Structure 1
Amino acid sequence: MRFSTLTASFITLLAGSAVADWKFEIWQSTDCSGGGNYISSSSVPYKGNLSPRQGSFKIITLPSSQHISFYTGSNQSGDISRYGSDLVGGPCVRNAPLSYGVYNN
């Protein structure tokens, strides 16, 4: 049996939709040490609260068409720090957020 190009493309699309498009790891420490927690999804926009306040993060994956905003207050309030795909696989970033949002640029 031979698959058509259209069938193969459809299967690839379905398989890819189950994979998270963005992912970051966040720590309570200010130097990305100790136990971290991964947060990921393929949904955008995506918002959440962090409890307790976190101290640092690393962006694992993030499309260039999206950004992550960290907020000093809960429910996406307070001061905003915005980070893009240029930090993917990059350094530990010291930040003390209580909430976050992932948005399209």
Structure 2
Amino acid sequence: ITEHAFPMSMHRHNGGIYLGDSNGKIHIINEKDDFNLVESHQTEHNKGITGIQSTTGAIITASLDHTARFVSPTTPPHHFACLRGAFGEICA
């Protein structure tokens, strides 16, 4: 996470900690390896990620940009679906 962003959401799954930040990036931390950063990826969100959930088949994020997005849990993640909120920001 850079000095220009801060964590806004967090989820634990299979030994990893998934963070969504204020710049719309996903960061994955290995909790079994001294909490070292494994990887970071820019998403298609253009505002902060307010919710993040990881499953076996997808990483799901919600954002202040009025969208919920679904990406593959691969390196790099591939975007495969987007839901747009009609009434404002999406929070988890």
TM-score, with structure 2 as normaliser: 0.30
Bigger radius of gyration: 1
Q: Which of structures 1 and 2 has the larger relative contact order (alpha carbons within 8 angstroms, sep 6+)? A: 1
